Amino acid sequence: MRARFVQLSSSILFGQIRQSEKMTDRDWVGFNAGVIEEFRANNGKVAAFGDLPVIILHTIGAVTGTVRLTPLIPVFDGDAMFVFGTAEGASKDPAWVGNLRTHPRITIETKAASFIADVLALPEADAQRMVDERASTTPKLAEYVASAAPRSIPVFSIAPVT
């Protein structure tokens, strides 16, 4: 599958986050809150992302049942939308991955509207192909893949509920 990739996640774009300065869960909460505030105040634009689209996942906490907001930059293949769980190359998946696996029906917020979507984890082989294809042209993702090994980067498709 030849995909047109926009970008993978907020962490790929932020060069000021050096590899040696891995963000903690607490850091991500504060960072994401700032991105969400800017997204909502500027009609979906986040300066650090340039013209790239941003979405906000409204997931349900796997343990807490609390709504969690996570800004991400989606990956597109035609009309299909995907998100990658890079976790900046961490050895474990980001928390939102577990939330999606437990509660796969979520709300997606875009600059124009919000919609209900079903999220499905791609089979590991398909996810690996997508990640490998993008990593071949995105050095930061290649670093994350190497750093995360042996963890595989999960990829999720997002399908609006009609």
- What domains sit in the chain, N to C, each tagged with a CATH number? 10-160 (2.30.110.10)
- Does the pLDDT at position 63 exceed 50? yes
**101-160 confidence digits (pLDDT tens):** 999 999 999 999 999 999 999 999 999 999 999 899 888 889 999 999 999 999 999 999
Q: Give the range among 19-23, 62-66, 87-91 with minimum mean pLDDT.
A: 19-23
Tokens representing 56 are 């906000």
Tokens representing 83 are 């998100």
Q: Which residue has the tokens 């999606």?
A: 100
**16-48 confidence digits (pLDDT tens):** 333 446 677 788 888 899 999 999 999 999 998
pTM, two decimal places: 0.83
